[in-house]
Amino acid sequence: MRNVATLGLFLLAVCLGLGGGHAQAQNGTATFNLTNNARYQIFIKFYSQDTVWPGVSSHYILADNLQHSFPLACTIGEKICYGGGYSQNGSGSYWGIGFFGNQGCSACCLICGPNNPTANWSLND
């Protein structure tokens, strides 16, 4: 009877995640360093599969030619890409995956990690 009770408690613990359950997602960071070397200010967002930085209805602005650093809190393993454009309506020139995150890019992403992966990009016309 005692073995049955022990087995029952073990199975309950596994079902509740108290022993042998899935590991929770760990927090990491990824830092994008962007420099606007284009003619006009650039509106910037960052996209992963589930998140938009700084938010769906907001953006960052690169209005000078200084390097701006964007350290993003993220889930380890999460792929994050930058996207930008001259306008908030998505028309005209774009950088990375574009202001709405709907363009392709060959080298505009970082993978979130515990050791803060960092990359520098110069945004030119």
Residue identified by tokens 């602005």 is: 61
CATH of the domain at 28: 2.60.40
In a domain, 13, yes or no: no
Q: Count the domains in the chain.
A: 1
Domain that holds residue 30: 23-123
In a domain, 1, yes or no: no
Q: What is the mean pLDDT of the chain?
A: 84
In a domain, 62, yes or no: yes
If one compares 103 and 19, the residue with the highest pLDDT of the two is: 103
C-alpha 95: how far from chain center: 16
In a domain, 5, yes or no: no
Within 8 A by CB and 6+ apart from 4, the residues are: none
In a domain, 15, yes or no: no
For 40-66, write each residue's pLDDT tens digit.
999 999 999 999 999 999 999 999 999
% of residues, the chain, pLDDT over 90: 73
User: What pTM value is reported for the model?
Assistant: 0.78
In a domain, 4, yes or no: no
Let me know the angle formed at the C-alpha of 79 by 73 and 62, rounded to the nearest 5 degrees.
65
In a domain, 8, yes or no: no
